[in-house]
Structure 1
Amino acid sequence: MELELFTLLMLGGLALLAGFIDTLAGGGGLLTLPGLLLAGLPPVQALATNKLQGTFGSGMATFTLLRLRRFSPAAVRRPFLWALAGSAVGTVVVQVVDTGALEVLVPVVLAVIALYFLLTPGAGRVERAPRLSGALYERTVVPAIGFYDGFFGPGTGSFFSLAEVALRGRELITATAHAKAFNFASNIASLTLFVIGGKVLWLVGATMILGQMLGAWLGAHAVLRGGQRLIRPLIVLMCLAMIARYLYGVAQT
């Protein structure tokens, strides 16, 4: 499938904005996936191509934050592998079961995330005692969110950030950095299966990768400069935006 140069450039610009937002708060797919569908891509190819550009964006954000020493490789090594495994299972399962129930569940969970960060302004300001041990968190919560990303996807970055703050007591910037690493892992698994299935449109994906990587790079630096003042309201805003999208979809059916 071939797209006009103007359409490709528009998708690249959209990916840049999405990469910036996704690095800080998650939810960048709220912009890129509808953009790909509006450009005329079939749904499966749109999902696959969106996963391609999103993987490069989360990868750029992860390596930039690592280079800036916002987290250590040792802190994310095991949960990274658990997120990868969970996403691989979710990507396989989604091909044989109905995802209809998630259309109801996901908006509820997103509302909980938005309310948590809105009503608990002290959450994530400083490191706190964890509510869940590292081993249990890595073997249950991380693969469960990874499974969700492979199975469905929207809001994964916000889910990881909330889990890091609420269950592991992380400071918000560290939680955001860890969330990008885990999201990168879950993206890799889904993308691999899409590539094997021949669903990715490479020219469209390559154009969006450039924008996504630049946006993620800018977003990673904004994490350090804006800190919690920027991350917290963006998480709330993106959760509310995703809820609105779901409600709009329900109203159209």
Structure 2
Amino acid sequence: MPATHDPKTPAWPPRSAPRLFVADELDMGSIIAIEGNQAHYLSRVMRVGEGDIVILCDDITGEWAARISSVGKRRIEAEAVERLRAREAVPDFWLCPALVKKDRFDLILEKATELGVARIRPVTTRRAVVDKLNAERARTVTVEAAEQCARTALPVVDAPEKLDALLRDWPQDRTLYFADETGGEPASAAFARYKVPAALLIGPEGGFDDAERAAIRALPQAVPIGLGPRILRAETAAIAATAMWMAVAGDWAA
């Protein structure tokens, strides 16, 4: 069914239209089945009905306006009627945070998504108090963050890996900024010199031990950086440094 609204008018798409990420690739006229928690959200919380518009993103083609064609108790169907935006370009920047307690790591995932990180590679270290990540929960956190801030792209979230494995297989062409609490080049200056591809490594609550720090510094691609005069919690360091990189070398500077 073609769109019946002029896309140039303020009413299209409706500002109140719910926004969801879906697993299926979208195309003009494609019928998308929405089930589970998403269907419950649309039918019970947002009270959508047949003919209503929702905004769907597939992390492949971009953002689409879709018209609800049927509403059931456990399943909703919607037809893609117009592509509104292509999938956004994302700076080639990875965040490699050491695992921390669940609520704090959720915050890292949420803010990294909002800030535009392309990939999140969780790391396990000797002083970390956490060594596992619930992949389904991580996906939920990043999707909800992207929906809330109208992103059309999701970060890739990898399974946790040990620090030594991360360093052993590190790409030769990617700078690894290392937030070293013992000191390093001011972050803003380092970010301005080395741009993309790049990544940021943040330690756990207890920091890296001496052997880990020596191994990181031995990596030719590693650039130790300092994050100012104050001691930052792991999640604060990850968020603040990512925001700084986006401002200095990422798409905030464009």
- Relative to the length of structure 1, the TM-score reads 0.26
Greater RCO, CA 8 A, separation 6+: 1
Larger Rg: 2
TM-score normalized by the length of structure 2: 0.25
Q: More strand per residue: 1 or 2?
A: 2
